[in-house]
Chain A
Amino acid sequence: MAVTTIPARPPASRDRHRRGKSRWIVLAVVTIAALVMLVPFVFMLLNAFKSPGDYSTGGPLSWPSEFYTKGLSNYWNQVNFPLKLWNSLLIAGSVAVLGVVVSLLNAYALGIGRVKGRLWIVGLFLLANMLPQEALIYPLYYAAKQVGLYNTQLSVIIIFTVIQSAFGTYLLASVLSTFPKSVLEAASLDGAGKWTVLWRVIFPNLRPTLAVLLIFFFIWTWNEFLIPLVMLIDNSTQTIPVALASLQGDRLMDAPTTNAGALISLIPAVLFFIIFQRTLSRGITAGAEK
């Protein structure tokens, strides 16, 4: 890495000239790789609008002979998709908000309050974030049955609020431990109590980071599978991924319905991604500038 800036112009420009052609080769190779990544999506789109008869005669790669939308509507009605969408939204949305609040409260005590033993506590939260869910699932399942929370969205909301806030606490505690002392001292000289400092000083300052955390919690919870699979057994409580997987498990679906179901199921996720992308890149840069 011992780099000296000698004005070695001629070899450099020759080098650049040579790369002028090879850069097109690089672009072609990377573009082909990117297209290969998209092939499964193309397969899915191609077959989501095909009738079962069309599929069995023309096979998976043929162009649909008619624009068939009954696969989509079949799946929509069979799983009562609007209800599943609501369940997923309710669970992911509640977890995102509650998870951020719990993370912020925890991190306030750990990062600003510097309560005793905070390193151990942060370590515990970090560890909790890495645990396999199998190590918790049976006792949670059993306890939920005992207290009547089994097969309710609330059980999943509580569980994921804690699991997600374990990560949030770890992240926010380290962000807050670098919070400028002078700002806090100025606030307490003005007579602000701890509660006021949290919501008037810390919260506005952390808003970009909290927004990113909120989005992460939402998407992570949206995509969760094991705990909703175990906890939600009813058609009226299940989330979108669980509904798709259990219908597939019943072997009730022909290929076009499978693809139609997958297509409907991934649309919300892709929409969120598009909506959130700007907030995310803004939030990440806002965090990096600190």
Chain B
Amino acid sequence: MALTETSAAQQRPAAPAAPKPPKRKRSGAGYWLYLLPGALLFLVVIGGPLIATVYLSLTKWSGIGDPTFIGFDNYTRLFQDEVFWQSFKNTVAMIIAMVVVPTLAGLVLASVLFDVIGRKFKPRTASALRAAFYLPQVLPVVVAGIVWGWILRPDGAFNGLLDVIGLGALRHDWLGDPDTALPSVMGVMIWVQIGYPVVVFMAALQRVDPELHEAAEVDGANWWHRFRAITLPQIRPETFVVALTCTIAALKVFGPVFALTRGGPENATNVPSYFAYYTFFKKLQVGYGSAISTVLTLIIIIVAAVFIYLQYRNERQDREV
């Protein structure tokens, strides 16, 4: 970034003397001043700390005194650490709960709400139903986590509900049992996440030319045919955006795990970000925590790059067709 600034600055002295016509060419000069506050803040809050974390991942440090350089020891330890592998396995579960299920269900729900309920009933009905799906997205995710944490407690509402409908035999400590904790957290995450794709896809569907649907309907195409042949291809850009943002959110998920289970029991619901937080602030192993964070950062960058590449390739194919 510094390079850009100096080269822009070097152009500046020549500017005042220049005659009118080349003015457009040098109009880039001077604008860098506007980038200065943002760039400085960026270096202090993001650039610097990120580099520091990568450096700290090569050290042993408790946060007091000076870090000791130990090379890649943290990484060798990391790849042999069962908790680390467990946390990444749980990330896959989070991707299923926060990306795969919400995106698929969101596609179906949005298109049902848009072209069945929105067109055959009053539009108000569709927007009221949409609001119900979106409501969990509005509240702070920690609040959602705490309410669900209580619902799933042994004396919570879920067990109460099982009693009422005569399934009292299934009463369970849902978050306390390592076998049911992860599926329970996944269920909560589906509930939290589903509104986002529904709202984005419903907005996207307004872009689709209604004549396409009407023409297909006249041709006798049923809802499923129209969904596959018209709706899906038309809203592909939005599907990419939703899948990318949800995948990154799933890789970074922290708040709900903190509020629901704190990664327990027996790491059954531990995820990389909670594992890093715990290592930093509870175990005071800053070097090791930095190594976890660095690996997580790399994975996120790779996933994002793959997504963006796929999208780019898709767009190019579309143009060629």
Contact = CB atoms under 8 A, between A and B. Distances in A.
A134 B258 contact: no
Contact of B42 (A108, A128, A135, A140): A128
B13 interface: no
Interface stretch (B45-53, B94-102, B310-318): B45-53
Interface in B1-33: 1, 3-4, 7-8, 27-28, 30-33
Contact of A138 (B53, B142, B151, B157): B53
Given A27-B121, A162-B41, A166-B46, A113 B32 contact: yes
Interface in A220-249: 222-223, 225-226, 229-230, 240-242, 244-245, 248
A139 B52 contact: yes
Given A59-B160, A223-B141, A142 B1 contact: no
Contacts of B176: none
A163 B220 contact: no
B123 to A, nearest CB: 13
Contact of A47 (B4, B112, B157, B290): B157
Contact of B143 (A35, A105, A265, A273): A265
Contact of B219 (A6, A31, A124, A222): A6
Contact of A265 (B140, B233, B251): B140
A41 B164 CA distance: 18
Residue of A3, A38, A135 with most partner-chain B CB within 10 A: A135
B147 A259 contact: yes
Interface stretch (B68-76, B78-86, B293-301): B293-301
Given A30-B129, A245-B142, A40 B148 contact: yes
A7 B255 CA distance: 56
Interface residues of B, number: 102
A117 B3 contact: yes
Given A136-B49, A273-B138, A3 B147 contact: no
Interface string A249-281: 000000100110110011001100100000000
A139 B157 contact: no
Contacts of B160: 59-61
A114 B252 CA distance: 33
A201 interface: no
B204 to A, nearest CB: 11
Interface string B241-263: 00000001001101100110000
A34 B133 contact: yes
A142 B53 CA distance: 11
Interface residues of A, number: 95
Interface string A109-128: 11011111110010011011
12 contacts: A3-B219, A40-B148, A60-B160, A113-B32, A130-B304, A131-B50, A132-B297, A137-B280, A165-B38, A225-B142, A259-B147, A269-B139
Interface of A: 1, 3-8, 11-12, 15, 19, 23, 26-27, 30-31, 33-35, 37-38, 40-41, 43-44, 47, 59-61, 102-103, 105-106, 108-110, 112-118, 121, 124-125, 127-128, 130-140, 142-143, 158-159, 161-163, 165-166, 169, 194, 198, 219, 222-223, 225-226, 229-230, 240-242, 244-245, 248, 255, 258-259, 261-262, 265-266, 269-270, 273, 284
Given A60-B160, A106-B35, A226-B277, 16 more contacts: A1-B212, A23-B121, A59-B163, A61-B163, A105-B35, A117-B4, A130-B248, A132-B297, A138-B286, A140-B49, A162-B46, A169-B38, A225-B142, A245-B145, A262-B143, A269-B140
